[in-house]
Amino acid sequence: MQNASDTDLVDAARKGSDLAFEQLALRHSQALRSFLRGVCRDHALADDIAQDTLIRAWQRLDQLRDPAAFKSWLFGTGWRLVAEARRSAGRRAKREQDWSDTTEQVRPEGISPEEAIALEAAMKELTPDQRACISLCLAGGWSHGEASEVLDMPAGTIKSHIKRGRAKLLAALGGDA
């Protein structure tokens, strides 16, 4: 089987030959790892992605249109997994930053850290005026008159910002108005 073409090995692997896929993996894994190491600049991550790539290739071998293009399909799969890893790392960094930002603030009793993160994200979607009114009146317990003085806005405008901001927050957090 070592002298068989990629096409022959793919065909045999599709028919259930573990040995055929093992030969494909042995044939291309070193080049795949080298490619991924160059792209990732992190050898451990590249090796993990290479292994995930081979597993995904085995699981999705029936999706390969042209068995002769196995190598490019395999490398394309690896490239997409690198992109997924980057997006995942970006989301993880964002969550950690949100967590860090939230844990530094005083959190009202009865609100879990996860709820505080969701609340902070929802607050960022409000206009600055709405955020200020919500922060003073709903979170800070200020009266509309006190907020009016501090923000130099009419009390009616304060009430309007609170009403609209509260509705947006409830919608973003999945609550009822």
Q: Do residues 147 and 133 lie in contact, with contact meaning Cβ atoms separated by under 8 Å?
A: yes
How far, in Å, CA of 23 to CA of 3, rounded? 10
Flag whether the pTM goes above 0.85.
no
Domain 6-95 fold is Rna Polymerase Sigma Factor; Chain: A (1.10.1740)
pLDDT, residue 99, reads: 65
List the domain boundaries for the chain. 6-95, 111-173
Selection from 164, 133, 131, 134 nearest residue 148 by Cα: 133
pLDDT, residue 95, reads: 73
Pick the CATH number of 111-173 from 1.20.1250.20, 1.10.10.10, 3.40.50.1980, 3.40.190.10: 1.10.10.10
Phi-psi region of 159 (alpha: psi -120 to 50; beta: other; left: phi over 0): alpha
Per-residue pLDDT of the chain (177 residues; tens, 9 = 90+): 778 999 999 999 999 999 999 999 999 999 999 999 888 878 999 999 999 999 999 999 999 999 999 999 999 999 999 989 988 887 777 777 766 665 455 555 677 777 777 778 888 888 888 888 888 888 788 899 988 887 888 999 999 999 998 898 888 777 665
How far, in Å, CA of 12 to CA of 20, rounded? 6
